[in-house]
Amino acid sequence: MTASPAPRTPCPSPTCPRPRLAAVTLLVSATLTVMAGAAIAPSLPALRAHFAGTDHIDLLVRLVLSLPALAIALASPPIGLLIDRKGRVPVLRVSLVLYALAGASGLVVDSLWALLAGRLLLGIAVAGILTSSTALIADAYDGRQRARFLGIQGSFMGFGGVVFLSLGGILADQGWRWPFAVYLLSLLVLPGAIRGLHDGPPPARDPGTSPVADRVPWAPLARIYAVTFLGMVVFYLIPTQIPFLLELLSGTGASTAGLAIAFSALVSASVSLLYGRVSRRIGFPTIAAVSLALLGAGFVVVGEAESTAGVVAGLGVCGLGTGLIMPNGAQWLITTVPASLRGRSLGAMNTAIFLGQFVSPLMVHLFLSDGGPSHAFLVVAGGSAATGAAVALHAGIMDRQSRGRARAG
């Protein structure tokens, strides 16, 4: 029986004096990531009014929201390679500082192009935080314990969305600049990253394995990345289109839009807490299929809604699906790749996540804008349901093949 590889853990030994601080720091770091771009979503209509007269203003305003996603998509692979070679914790610390500086730049800049530059830097910071913190979790936990912790991480992401979007909506009613202040919250996490997190020895290969074991399993990873990308294309219609839909339906302000999106994030956070139990009973592809189907069903309700209450009800259904997407993708990937490749594989995963977020508003602008926000939700609902059905079919085939191999063995 071979010895287990030495992990690179948040606390490098069982006698670490601050294990709780390490765990809390990783979880709170998660709140800064996936919904970071959407924190200013409630202020988009006011931001558009402030820069009225600028060429292509509708597209540029949506880029203010989605540009960090492009930066994350481009920066995550090299950051993943960096943390595999140099360590997770230094990257996390630097990224937390950059997050505050770049994110809060909207408080002072008065040029739309300078604002977009700050959003690019924010994306690089998010790439560093998300990749390094998830790699630390993957290194520190195994099996069911890891699935449970990733579910908690997904829940913290959802609760971060509740805080960011609710606070962003309230601040947006005071002026379009004020939501950018929420990015300063990363400075509260920095002391925990300095005092509670330390890199242990790098992940090692089992002594009995060959270098072939560290080759990237491209085929299964491609399936994971494709499902993740499509899920994010669908998901990101919520922060990019809901403020405009509610403004059109009932003339509601930014705070109402923020609270409506935050409600979906709250449902998502609650569902994420159950991921550890769900993953013990249902396979990764099936969970992905169910998540996409729930998003599609929620979008039908949103697209057909004639009031704010109807939109909120649809967003609640969407939250049931989004609560499983993030922890499922991460656990699916971590169980597929060798420990020594986790950083770069998670970096590529982040590329799939945030490239999907970047493409989502562009897709609406280029192909669906003529029909309005309601039309966009209904069209994407059909695509989400079709994708969910395809994933479910693939899951059934894989399950049957797995059972056949087990009987043959």
| Burial category of 241 from C-beta neighbours within 10 Å (exposed 0-12, middle 13-18, buried 19 and up) | buried
What is the average per-residue pLDDT within 169-192? 89
Write down the H helix ranges in 202-307.
218-235, 237-250, 254-272, 275-281, 284-304
Collapsing DSSP to helix, strand or coil, 56 comes out as coil
The span from the CA of 65 to the CA of 90, in Å, is 28
3-state helix, strand, coil in the chain (%, to 5): 80, 0, 20
Q: Which helix (H) or strand (E) holds 387?
A: helix 372-408
Q: Contact at 8 Å (CB) between 392 and 289?
A: yes
pLDDT at res. 17: 52
pLDDT at res. 116: 92
- Tokens 């009987």 correspond to 407
- Kindly list the distances between the CA atom of residue 264 and the CA atoms of 55, 85, 242, 311, 407, in Å, as whole numbers in the listed order: 33, 38, 11, 10, 43
DSSP string, 63-130: HHHHHHHHHHHHHHHHHHHHHHHH-HHHHHHHHHHHHHHHHGGGGT---HHHHHHHHHHHHHHHHHHH
Above pLDDT 70, what percent of the chain?
Answer: 83
pLDDT at res. 220: 79
The residue ranges of DSSP E strands in 327-391, in sequence order, are: none
- Tokens 């962003």 correspond to 168
The span from the CA of 269 to the CA of 365, in Å, is 29
Quote the mean pLDDT of the chain.
80
Is the model more confident about 337 or about 3?
Answer: 337
* 292-326 residue pLDDT tens: 888 888 888 988 888 889 999 999 999 998 888 88
- Tokens 């948040």 correspond to 10
Least reliable range by pLDDT among 118-122, 126-130, 343-347: 343-347
Give the pLDDT band of residue 404 (cuts 50, 70, 90). Answer: low
* 348-393 residue pLDDT tens: 888 888 888 778 877 776 666 566 778 778 887 777 777 766 766 6
- Kindly list the distances between the CA atom of residue 188 and the CA atoms of 17, 179, 193, 385, in Å, as whole numbers in the listed order: 20, 17, 10, 40
pLDDT at res. 67: 85
Tokens describing residue 372? 């309005």
In our burial notation (b when 16+ CB lie closer than 10 A, e otherwise), range 250-278 reads eebbbbbbbbbbbbbbbbbbebbbebbeb
The span from the CA of 77 to the CA of 84, in Å, is 11
pLDDT at res. 209: 38
- Tokens 């971060």 correspond to 160
Asked if residue 207 has pLDDT above 50, the reply is: no
Give the pLDDT band of residue 203 (cuts 50, 70, 90). Answer: low
- Kindly list the distances between the CA atom of residue 370 and the CA atoms of 142, 248, 295, in Å, as whole numbers in the listed order: 49, 14, 23
The span from the CA of 200 to the CA of 15, in Å, is 13
Domains (range + CATH), the chain: 19-197+217-408 (1.20.1250.20)
Q: Which helix (H) or strand (E) holds 44?
A: helix 44-50
What is the average per-residue pLDDT within 48-58? 79
pLDDT at res. 120: 92
Residue type, 221: L
Above pLDDT 90, what percent of the chain?
Answer: 15
The span from the CA of 141 to the CA of 185, in Å, is 27
Closest CA to 230 of 384, 337, 372: 384
Is the model more confident about 254 or about 180?
Answer: 180
Collapsing DSSP to helix, strand or coil, 135 comes out as helix
